Amino acid sequence: MRAELETDAQAIRMTGAQAIIASFVAEGVEVVFGYPGGAVLPLYDELYRSGLRHILVRHEQGAAHAADGYARATGKVGVVIATSGPGATNLVTGLATAYMDSTPLVAITGQVGTGMIGRDSFQEADVFGLTMPVTKHNYQLRSVHEIPQVFREAFHIARTGRRGPVLIDVPKDLQSENVHFSYPVEPPVLPGYKPSVEVSVEAVQRAAEAIARASRPLIFAGGGVIAAGAHQELRMLAEGANIPVVLSLMGLGAFPADHELFLGMVGMHGTYVANRAMARADLIIAVGVRFDDRVTGNLKRFARRATVIHIDIDAAEISKNVEAHIAVVGDAREVLSRLLSLVEHGQYHDWFRRIHSWQVNHPLCYARPERAIAPQDAVREAARVLGDHEVIVTTGVGQHQMWVAQYYPFLAPRTLVTSGGLGTMGFGLPAAVGAQVGRPDRRVICIDGDGSFQMTSHELATAVRYNLPIIVLILNNGCLGMVRQWQELFYGGRYSHIDLEQGAPDLVKLAEAYGAVGIRVTERAELEPALRRALARTDGPTLIDCQVLKEENVFPMIPAGAGIEEIMKEAPRRD
């Protein structure tokens, strides 16, 4: 079809719904996630005849998270469709999640007919206004003739510069009107939008000079490295200049966890050595990060000894939270490639001696009961059993997410799919659906908490319907674990409304009710056989209800508002 869409002279007469499908084809879209409704019926009628793969979810939020997981696992633009009113508003959490984590999505929402907009019509909502704060850009079509140009712009904006979600609100009547369709071939020219920035040679040179002067340098890399495909350049810089590396949560996988220069994740629940190195470094080379508060802690106490080089494609992030002494705006891959030729292998004997001391004296640790399952053990066992396979891990949000970040060794980019910026509970399972659809050659495991899982557990039906061999490992502690931890540490042990055991479903029976396989494990010895049984299945999902210690906390921990050096390695004793 692409050849038929090249020029205006070859324009084809079609309906607006057909034009949307043709736009998808022109953009290389292979799969869309969605849930039909009245305001998108003409579009779904064309989807029926189009040959495009459509994944029917059980809730529009699940569709947005699935498209997000697909995009993160593949590097492609995820596409999601919802109807007007509540269908569209149900996408908002998913769009906000993608926006905070810079995931490229294009969302199509139906809208009431153009003549009914603004009249409080049935299932009408101001989706344009509602989503403006949580999208990179959004549109509301007013003419069928806008479809080719708007769709070309939407995909261009979503996938270029700092990636992000774009929404197109399409009134129902435009889907049935006729248009002479010709899809633009050239990238759109958008006044004020300049995603390609010429990298400053002078800034790169200044960065190289700062590296040469440093005695305690540290590379701090984030999700922008993965988005730019710059993981190889990051490794070459670290090895070539002999500089240790710490990663943000969103950056895990950008640098191999088994590398001798890797110090772990930095931030509130990062490793002791990563946080201590960040606090004591005299030079921080920050690449593709935004200095989130979960990383910096109290900004007044953050990295006071360090010169900061900040490399980011989004100029708005430079010095937004942490002052950049040297700013390099541009694509991380291009900047690191230029920097590579200007740096030399450094000798930092005192720095590495200090780092080694922290590693030896303050490793990640936890108490291991004889038979009961520590949640950290569950994560480590999953990593061991699945270690010989190319695995993508998704998570919800909470304690389990942090244990995954601490104890699952991510060796390659796009192997961790998690909600970092918004912290969206319920993200894990639908994201796993999208990741598995996008990467059928990989095994996908969703490591979830019982609270997070129950927010979107209905997407098990989606995994069953499409025979997706997802492993769902639930670290079931019968409560809202992270909230319980904070109430224990900072609210005098007053556990206010965090118990999930009363009225909790039998998760094994729930899985079986959806047509999945359910397994319950209560002792550590049962975990490996359960994981291997799940791994052997290739025709549908397997849920493992892993009963873990309820009182276990995530440590290390930097309390909210504390400085990065104020690391709690265990809970304070109460006398």
Locate tokens 């004296």: which residue? Answer: 361
Q: Which two tokens stand for residue 538?
A: 């290739």
Q: Average pLDDT of the chain?
A: 95
Residues 6+ apart with CB under 8 A from 429: 62, 394, 396, 446, 448, 453, 456, 457, 459, 460, 463, 470, 472
Q: What is the pLDDT of residue 572?
A: 64
Q: Please check whether residue 220 is in contact with residue 289, taking contact to mean a CB–CB distance below 8 angstroms.
A: yes
Catalytic residue among 27, 128, 155, 172: 172
Q: Please check whether residue 79 is in contact with residue 31, taking contact to mean a CB–CB distance below 8 angstroms.
A: yes
Q: Please check whether residue 261 is in contact with residue 273, taking contact to mean a CB–CB distance below 8 angstroms.
A: no
Catalytic residue among 10, 122, 194, 512: 122
Catalytic residue among 27, 46, 60, 459: 60
Largest CA distance in the chain: 83
With 90 as the cut, is the pLDDT of residue 110 above it? yes
Q: What is the pLDDT of residue 564?
A: 85
Catalytic residue among 6, 30, 116, 123: 123
Nearest by Cα to 41 from 143, 172, 148, 142 = 172
pLDDT per position as a tens digit, 140-169: 999 999 999 999 999 999 999 999 999 999
- Is 550 known to be catalytic? no
- Is 123 known to be catalytic? yes
Burial of 525 (0-12, 13-18, 19+ CB in 10 A): exposed
pLDDT per position as a tens digit, 175-187: 999 999 999 999 8
Strand partners, 245: 219, 262
Locate tokens 């190319």: which residue? Answer: 390
Model's pTM, two decimal places?
Answer: 0.95
Distances in Å between the alpha carbon of 410 and those of 404, 514, 547?
10, 31, 24
Q: What is the pLDDT of residue 439?
A: 98
pLDDT band at 3 (very low <50, low <70, confident <90, very high): very low
Catalytic residue among 24, 482, 485, 555: 482
Burial of 298 (0-12, 13-18, 19+ CB in 10 A): middle
Mean of the pLDDT values across residues 441-469?
Answer: 98
pLDDT band at 383 (very low <50, low <70, confident <90, very high): very high
Phi, psi of 455 (to 5 degrees): -70, -30
> Going from the N-terminus, what domains does the chain have, and what CATH number goes with each?
2-181 (3.40.50.970), 201-361 (3.40.50.1220), 375-547 (3.40.50.970)
Q: What is the DSSP letter of 40?
A: G
- Is 33 known to be catalytic? no
